[in-house]
Amino acid sequence: MLGSGAMTNSIEDVTREADVIMLVGSNPEEAHPVIGMQIRAAAERGCRLIVVDPRDIGLAKRADIHLKLRPGTNVAFANCMVNVLLREGLVDEEFVRERTEGVEIMSATVRDYTPERVEDICGVDQRDLVAAAKMYGTAKAAAIVYCLGVTEHSTGTDGVMALSNIAMITGNLGRRGGGVNPLRGQNNVQGACDMGAGPDDLTGYQKVADPEALRRFERAWGVELPRERGLKATECFPAMLSGKVRGLFLFGEDPVRTDADTGHVIRALEALEFLVVDDLFLTETAAYADVVLPGCAYAEKEGTFTNTERRVQRVRKAVDAPGGARPDTEIFTEVMNRMGYEQPRLAPAEIMEEIAAVTPTYGGVSHARLDSRELGGRGLQWPCPNASHPGTPILHAREFSRGVGAFSTPSYRPSAELPDEDYPLMLTTGRILYQYNACAMTGRTEGLGEIAGGSFIELNDRDAKALGVADGDRVRVWSRRGSIETRARVSGKTNPGQTWMPFHFQDGNSNWLTIAALDRTSKTPEFKVCAVRVEKVG
């Protein structure tokens, strides 16, 4: 829609310049606590806050409006917002006319998403839907902030595009205090994507399908490159089971712990002829490996991170790596050379120079510049096309990366698996403040386990009473993929019929239950919705 898959504005811009922040499918106080603290401070200063989340998260207490919608209904909610904005005349007509295309067909798409209809779909009072749209639409500057509660659905791509429609029709793009702003799940997710980690992309989102882009890389590297796209991570597991993928090199990832449908993941890994894991610790996945290579932690190597606001920052070696641990780049270079593909051994600064040479958005980035007094340690935000460019805090100020912004036309589709008689409850998953992802590091941090050291499931009071379950009871949770035992936390944080679990803990990992139903475009699993039943143990 915009031509760029990244946070359009800076963190400080959103939290200091926005009059309204609409937080959708994100619990930043626990999953992104530094940003969460700044959003909380913005609300305390008077910035109005709309929280769109199925749970009573901490920031919901500070929200002017909390839309406690049914998981999996983000597209219907966002289409309803646009429906109300159009009906109320809260549209930036000049912006739409001069900088966008496709508004007529988008308007026709959202016509049926009236507040009355969407109240039934989302389980949210239609008056609150209208109030939220008016609050957002009348603001001088309104920012959308979202996270995995939008993307980790079989309709996640549609959800993101529907949110972009809201920002575009009100002209809240390319301006201070506005934008569509995804919070990345880890510290260098944005940087990994920027470097071509997606199978459709070369660095800087230059497309494998673009012949001219491909030729530029072939000239730079002196090799012929494949013309077909590769596999996305979640596409690899079915390919392992079919024999299409027979070997896997995995680094910095623990899918046995963090991917949907753990049983499916394990069967796929066991079908491989050869598995290499390069990591800091012997993870759950490393137990299935033929070879385990010791990697280096961030403090043991040089390089850069590109954070959620597109800011490229230096990482400097602080301590020596233990034993035979080596940086990933050295391991990759050594493997390529031993396989007969001759590669030079480049220092991190030289690798950054090559990145800048083949990536227009990083053209002005170098270790020397990032280390200079000129920047004062703050890094550079891409696009930064040349060495004199100051970086770009706000994207799309004059035009979109693709020229004009394209409205999308997503229609609401229910989640792949909904509750029924056999599995009457809906499960969604997420993070807690005190642990992080697979617990590879936080699980080894003294004290954190005493605060939050075990699995649990949040049950609504009404559901718990019907099941004869009290707060703290041991329960067994079943889905069509397996079962786990965990501890019940009974409250009103979730709506009746809905449950919530963290995925950090191996004593009852929710990913034995989750479904690997994939988004058609991103191939992201539907971590946020599956059907379960709960039984008291003993």
pLDDT for the residue numbered 273 = 98
> Among 35-44, 50-59, 219-228, which stretch is predicted with the lowest mean pLDDT?
219-228
% of residues, the chain, pLDDT over 70 = 100
**For residue 180, which of 164, 193, 191, 158 has the smallest C-alpha distance?**
164
Residue 361 — very low, low, confident or very high, per pLDDT cuts 50/70/90?
A: very high
pLDDT for the residue numbered 446 = 86
Over residues 104-160, the pLDDT tens digits come to: 999 999 999 999 999 999 999 999 999 999 999 999 999 999 999 999 999 999 999
Residue 56 confidence (pLDDT) above 90 = yes
Strands 474-479 and 530-536: antiparallel
pLDDT for the residue numbered 438 = 86
- Residue 98's identity, in one-letter code, is E
Strands 247-251 and 274-279: parallel
Residues 424, 425, 429, CA angle at the centre, nearest 5°?
A: 150
Q: CA 32 to CA 309: how far, in whole Å? A: 13
Q: CA 195 to CA 213: how far, in whole Å? A: 14
Residue 3 confidence (pLDDT) above 80 = no
Residue 416 confidence (pLDDT) above 90 = yes
- Residue 446's identity, in one-letter code, is E
- Contact indicator for 410, 81 with CB cutoff of 8 Å: no
Residue 308 — very low, low, confident or very high, per pLDDT cuts 50/70/90?
A: very high
pLDDT for the residue numbered 376 = 87
- Contact indicator for 515, 530 with CB cutoff of 8 Å: yes
DSSP-based helix, strand, coil % in the chain, nearest 5: 35, 20, 45
- How far lies 2's CA from each of 5, 98, 140, 264, 361, in Å? 8, 14, 21, 35, 16
Residue in this structure with the two tokens 């809240």, named with its chain if needed = 172
pLDDT for the residue numbered 403 = 86
Instruction: DSSP for 429-477, please give it.
Output: EE--TT--TT-TTGGGSTTHHHHS-S-EEEEEHHHHHHHT--TT-EEEE
DSSP structural state of residue 497:
T
pLDDT for the residue numbered 149 = 93
pLDDT for the residue numbered 402 = 83
Per DSSP, the three-state class of 401 is coil
- Contact indicator for 26, 430 with CB cutoff of 8 Å: no
- Contact indicator for 523, 232 with CB cutoff of 8 Å: yes
Give the helix/strand (H/E) hosting 275.
strand 274-279
pLDDT for the residue numbered 374 = 87
- Contact indicator for 457, 425 with CB cutoff of 8 Å: no
- Contact indicator for 185, 156 with CB cutoff of 8 Å: no
- Contact indicator for 422, 483 with CB cutoff of 8 Å: no
Mean pLDDT of 47-56: 97
Mean pLDDT of 50-76: 97
Residue 27, burial from CB neighbour count under 10 angstroms (0-12, 13-18, 19+): buried
Instruction: DSSP for 363-393, please give it.
Output: TT--HHHHTSTTTTT--EESP--STT----S
pLDDT for the residue numbered 439 = 85
Chain centre to alpha carbon of residue 179: 17
Structure tokens at 190: 């944005």
Q: CA 277 to CA 287: how far, in whole Å? A: 9
Mean pLDDT of 350-367: 96
Residue 138, burial from CB neighbour count under 10 angstroms (0-12, 13-18, 19+): middle
Question: Which residues fall within 8 angstroms of residue 174, CB to CB, at 6 or more apart?
Answer: 8, 394, 395, 396, 397, 398, 400
Question: What distance, in Å, lies between the first and last C-alpha atoms of the chain?
Answer: 53
Torsion of CA 451, 457, 462, 464, to 10 degrees: -100
Q: CA 427 to CA 509: how far, in whole Å? A: 13
